[in-house]
Amino acid sequence: DGGITQSPKYLFRKEGQNVTLSCEQNLNHDAMYWYRQDPGQGLRLIYYSQIVNDFQKGDIAEGYSVSREKKESFPLTVTSAQKNPTAFYLCASSMRGGTEAFFGQGTRLTVV
Amino acid sequence: AQRVTQPEKLLSVFKGAPVELKCNYSYSGSPELFWYVQYSRQRLQLLLRHISRESIKGFTADLNKGETSFHLKKPFAQEEDSAMYYCALKANAGGTSYGKLTFGQGTILTVHP
The pLDDT tens digits of the residues spanning A38-52 come to 987 889 999 999 999
Q: What's the rounded Cα separation, in Å, for the pair A102 and A92? A: 5
Distance CA A13, CA A63 (A): 15
pLDDT digits (tens, 9 = 90+) for B32-88: 999 999 999 899 999 999 888 788 899 999 899 899 999 999 999 999 999 999 999
Per-position DSSP letters for A9-45, written without gaps between them: SEEEE-TT--EEEEEEE-S--SEEEEEEEETTTEEEE
* Dihedral class, residue A72 (left if φ above 0, else alpha if ψ from -120 to 50, else beta): alpha
- If pLDDT is split at 50, 70 and 90, which confidence band does A100 have? confident
Per-residue CA distances from A73 to A31, A68, B6, B55, B69 (Å): 10, 6, 31, 34, 35
Q: How far is A76 from chain B (nearest CA, A)?
A: 17
Q: Nearest chain A Cα to B3, which residue?
A: A59
Res B1: pLDDT: 79
pLDDT (tens digit, 9 = 90+) per residue, A59-85?
A: 999 999 999 999 999 999 999 888 899
A74 interface with B at CB cutoff 8 Å: no
Report the alpha-carbon distance of residue B86 to residue B31 in Å, rounded: 16
Distance between alpha carbon B69 and the CA centroid of its chain, in Å? 10
Q: Which DSSP symbol is given to A96? A: T
Contacts of B54 (CB under 8 A, 6+ apart): B48, B60
How far apart are the CA of A60 and the nearest CA of chain B, in angstroms?
12
Q: What is the mean pLDDT of residues A25-32?
A: 94
Return the number of CB contacts < 8 Å for A and B: 52
Q: Identify whether A75 is preceded by a cis peptide bond (ω within 30 of 0).
A: no
Write the CB contacts of A37 (distance below 8 Å, at least 6 apart in sequence): A43, A44, A87, A88, A89, A90, A106
What is the rounded CA–CA span in Å between residue A94 and residue A59? 19
- For chain B, say whether A98 makes contact (Cβ under 8 Å): no
What is the C-alpha to C-alpha distance for residues B2 and B19, in angstroms, rounded to an integer? Answer: 26
